[in-house]
C-alpha cells in the first residue's frame, strides 16, 4: 500500500462572540472536523494516509491566565493489526490550572458491503493535573513579603500536581460520502490524587457526523456537526467546508446556539503533489 504524509498549511481567524460557560474537561478546538482524532479514537487509521496534526488554540488575547491549548496527534492505518493506531499529546492551560495528557489509540476496521467501513476504537492514557497556588488569592489570604498563605485548606500555597489513568472508546461508520460516530471520554478515569483534593475527570459523550457532496466547477461542500455533553450541558459545533479542486480548502465554523461562544474561518492547502 502506498502511503503519504498529509500536510496541511492553514490560516485561521477566530472570534469570541459570547460568554457561554463550558467546563474545560475536554479540549475545545475550533474546526472540530479537522481534529476528529481528538474526539473519537475510532478515527485512527480511517484514512489511507499517515496524518500528523499540530494544533494551537488561544482565547482572549491580552488577558492574563487566558485559555491556551496545544495538541499533537498522529495516526496511520496498519493492516497487519486489522485497523490503525495513533498517538495524542495534549497540554491545556487555564489560569493557574494545567492539564497535560498522553494517549495511545487503537482502532479495529471492518469493511462492510461496498465502500463502507465500521471502526471501533479505544484510547488509553495518563492525565496530569496541576494547580499553581502562587497564582491564586483569597479574601482572607495573607500575602506579605513574598509569603503565601491562602488560609484555605482546599488551596495549595505552591504548585501541586497529580496523575491518573484514563480510558475512552468510540464507534465510527464511514462511506464514500458521509461518516457518523459516537464516542465516550473519561469513561474509566481514575482519581487524580493531589495533596488537598482528589480530582476525577467528568465523563463526556460525543456524537458527530459529516456529509460531502459535489456542486459545479470541481467544488465539494461538506457540512459537519459535533455535539458534546457532560450530561449537564450540551454544546454543538457546526462546520461547513468547501473543497476547491485537489489542494485548497476553505471552512467556517460556529460553536454554541443562540449565545454563540465562538466563530472561525480557515483557508488551507494540501502540500502533497
pLDDT at 22: 39
**Number of Cβ atoms within 10 Å of the Cβ of 5:** 12
Average pLDDT over residues 36-60: 85
Q: Does 166 or 66 have the greater pLDDT score?
A: 166
Phi, psi (deg, nearest 5) at residue 188: -145, 50
Q: Which of 41, 67, 66, 36 is nearest to 53 (CA)?
A: 36
Phi, psi (deg, nearest 5) at residue 186: 60, 40
- 5-270 domain in CATH 2.40.128? yes
Beta bridge partner(s), residue 62: none
Q: Is the pLDDT of residue 46 over 80?
A: yes
CA–CA dist 209, 84 (Å, integer)? 20
CA–CA dist 114, 241 (Å, integer)? 26
HSE on the CB side for 222, CA within 13 Å?
Answer: 21
Percent of the chain scoring above 70 in pLDDT = 78
pLDDT at 175: 94
What are the structural domain ranges in the chain?
5-270
Q: Are the C-beta atoms of residues 210 and 178 closer than 8 Å to each other?
A: yes
pLDDT at 8: 47
Q: Are the C-beta atoms of residues 101 and 87 closer than 8 Å to each other?
A: no
Q: Is the pLDDT of residue 73 over 80?
A: yes
262 pLDDT band (50/70/90 cuts)? low
197 pLDDT band (50/70/90 cuts)? low
Q: Is the pLDDT of residue 3 over 90?
A: no
120-152: per-residue pLDDT in tens? 999 999 988 887 777 777 877 777 877 877 777
Q: Which of 239, 260, 264, 206 is nearest to 20 (CA)?
A: 260
11-27: per-residue pLDDT in tens? 444 444 443 433 445 66
CA–CA dist 158, 144 (Å, integer)? 15
Residues 6 or more apart whose Cβ sits within 8 Å of residue 215: 221
47 pLDDT band (50/70/90 cuts)? confident
pLDDT at 265: 65
CA–CA dist 90, 104 (Å, integer)? 12
Average pLDDT over residues 167-182: 95
Average pLDDT over residues 241-269: 71
5 pLDDT band (50/70/90 cuts)? very low
Average pLDDT over residues 54-72: 76
Percent of the chain scoring above 90 in pLDDT = 31
Q: Is the pLDDT of residue 7 over 50?
A: no
Beta bridge partner(s), residue 120: 108, 171
Burial of 108 (0-12, 13-18, 19+ CB in 10 A): middle
| pTM score above 0.85 | no
Angle at 24 between CA 69 and CA 263, to 5 degrees: 65
pLDDT at 76: 93
Amino acid at each position: 500500500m502506498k502511503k503519504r504524509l498529509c500536510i496541511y498549511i492553514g490560516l485561521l481567524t477566530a472570534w469570541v462572540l459570547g460568554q457561554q460557560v463550558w467546563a474545560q474537561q475536554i479540549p475545545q478546538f475550533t474546526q472540530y472536523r479537522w481534529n476528529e482524532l481528538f474526539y473519537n479514537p475510532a478515527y485512527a487509521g480511517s484514512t489511507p494516509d499517515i496524518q500528523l496534526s499540530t494544533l494551537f488554540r488561544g482565547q482572549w488575547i491580552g488577558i492574563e491566565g487566558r485559555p491556551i491549548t496545544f495538541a499533537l496527534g498522529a495516526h496511520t492505518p496498519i493492516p497487519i493489526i486489522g485497523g490503525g493506531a495513533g498517538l495524542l499529546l495534549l497540554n491545556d492551560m487555564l489560569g493557574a490550572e494545567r492539564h497535560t495528557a498522553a494517549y495511545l489509540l487503537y482502532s479495529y476496521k471492518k469493511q462492510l458491503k461496498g465502500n463502507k467501513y465500521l471502526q471501533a476504537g479505544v484510547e488509553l492514557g495518563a492525565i496530569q493535573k496541576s494547580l499553581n497556588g502562587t497564582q491564586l488569592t483569597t479574601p482572607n489570604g495573607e500575602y506579605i513579603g513574598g509569603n503565601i498563605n491562602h488560609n484555605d485548606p482546599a488551596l495549595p500555597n505552591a504548585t501541586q500536581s497529580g496523575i491518573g489513568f484514563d480510558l475512552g472508546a468510540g464507534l465510527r461508520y464511514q462511506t464514500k460520502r458521509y461518516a457518523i460516530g459516537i464516542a465516550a471520554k473519561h469513561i474509566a478515569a481514575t482519581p487524580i490524587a493531589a495533596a488537598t483534593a482528589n480530582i476525577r475527570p467528568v465523563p463526556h459523550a460525543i456524537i458527530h457526523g459529516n456529509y460531502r457532496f459535489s456542486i459545479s466547477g470541481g467544488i465539494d461542500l461538506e457540512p459537519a456537526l459535533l455535539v458534546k455533553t457532560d450530561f449537564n450541558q450540551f454544546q454543538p459545533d457546526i462546520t461547513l467546508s468547501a473543497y476547491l479542486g485537489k489542494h485548497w480548502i476553505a471552512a467556517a465554523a460556529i460553536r454554541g446556539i443562540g449565545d454563540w461562544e465562538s466563530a472561525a474561518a480557515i483557508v488551507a492547502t494540501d502540500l502533497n503533489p
